[in-house]
Structure 1
């Protein structure tokens, strides 16, 4: 499976609010399924699927959510339950008992509840929340893959800087490589990001340390706007909360981008890729090559 991401743009405040309601409903379904498992014995995945139908009949807002999205929320609950059973059988030190979600940020649709335009420029949600049509912002290669490959699921994610749609494509990603016989060992440590078997060391970029001064400043501003006992908080408080979230999001993206490029550089340095030239030139400085 391959996942491609595009940002949802050109939506109104009512449309984004509809997406928030869909996300909260998905969280509600997952927590209800988890509670049903705690209160009853012999619950399996089929039981949770049937529970989704009962929730749709009992709660009108749950019926607005697409049936496939309700099933996907039940699958999330069952995934946490099955992982708990697996760790118990393996006698792991930490069993990881399933917990209720408090701040869910995503909702997942299967093959229904959404519609992609023929040119891949717009995405429309057709469930009961009526979020409407959004413009998709992504590069041309990703848009071409979204149009040509089979889409198994569409996941809507809320982040600090907006809403994103993730397309889960039914394809296996493969790289055409030529085995060179080179073997390298990596040791991840605290003083250095990693040290390989040849003695090469890569220093940690410390993105969090670099952003620490700005994080402290934004956190102080957020604390000043907080009013104890006030429900809800002021609009300025929520604006500052979003600014602080964007700083954390930038650090997260810097870490992920650096780690992925470094891993690709390590692989490209020990095998012969057909398209390794441009890749290695772009990330050669990361590994000290």
Structure 2
């Protein structure tokens, strides 16, 4: 499964509709968890049937696409099965009992509820939430894939905007010439890692470099009045600071890992 992400552009009313769809997803997931706690659900199919009951009972839940409601219940069942697996494996400590979600950031559609434009530059959501048509901007080209290969479409809310993710079913193969070398890695705290050839890679410490700006943004949030627009804006700035650091960390780790994998046939790590 290949995940392609694009930045979405639209009106403020469309983004408000996305927020409402995300809140509905959170509501359905939490109600599914409550149903399981009360003993009313024994399988994922029971939760899927419960989505239809919620749609009849609540008008705002009926606005969301039926398969998107099922995706929300599948998230609940995923947390439940993870808890069961941890109990069977007798993992020490807390087993991860399913909790009610307080801050959901995405809504997931399956094969219905959306339609991709012929030029692959926009997507239209056709359910009753009122999201409508969103423009897409990214570095990947969707023309290489057929619409039937797109199994899921996810709307993700981040500190710097809204994104659309496409889960594409495709088999990826890469032909790499064997290098005849093997390497062992020891990940540490002072250095990012030390390999078996006694070569070390420095830890970039992105958090330490951006700590001053983070503290400044956090102080601004603390000084603002609760539930005010200024506090909301300050929280957005703080979220962008954290988002930048997380992206720096991921970019560094992915590029370094790909360099190690492509230059060695066998990689062992501790």
Q: Normalising TM by the smaller chain, what interval? A: over 0.9
The CA deviation at 1:167 is 0.2
Q: What secondary structure sits across from 1:118 in the alignment? A: coil
1:179, distance to aligned residue in structure 2 (A): 2.7
In 2, the alpha carbon distance for the partners of 1:43 and 1:128 equals 30
Secondary structure in 1 aligned to 2:164? strand
SS at match of 1:174: coil
Quick one: distance in 2 between partners of 1:47 and 1:17? 31
How many Å apart are 1:149 and its aligned residue?
A: 6.9
State whether structure 2 residue 121 is matched by structure 1 residue 121.
yes
Question: How far off its partner does 1:173 sit?
Answer: 2.4
Secondary structure of the 1:43 match is: coil
Distance in 2, matches of 1:148 and 1:83, equals: 32
Aligned residue pairs: how many?
264
Structure 1 residue runs of 4 or more that deviate by more than 2 Å after TM superposition? 141-149, 178-181
Q: TM-score, normalised by structure 1?
A: 0.88
Residues 55 and 62, structure 2, Cα contact 8 Å, conserved in 1: yes
**Are the equivalent residues in 2 in contact too, given 1:108–1:153 (CA < 8 A)?**
yes
- Structure 1 CA distance, aligned partners of 2:71 and 2:215? 38
**Structure 1 residue 22 and structure 2 residue 16: aligned?**
no
CA distance in 2, matches of 1:238, 1:69: 29
1:29–1:74: 8 Å Cα contact kept in structure 2?
Answer: yes
Root-mean-square deviation (CA), in Å? 1.4
Distance in structure 2 (CA, Å) of the matches to 1:102 and 1:41? 22
For 2:182, what is the secondary structure of its paired residue?
coil
Q: Mark the runs of 5 or more structure 2 residues left unpaired by the alignment.
A: 266-270
Match of 1:173 in 2: 172
What residue is the counterpart of 2:59 in the other structure? 60
1:124-203 aligned at under 5 Å gives the runs 124-139=124-139, 141-146=140-145, 150-203=149-202
**Separation in structure 1 between the aligned mates of residue 159 and residue 125 of structure 2, nearest angstrom:** 21
Q: Which of 225, 243, 247 is the matching residue for 2:241?
A: 247
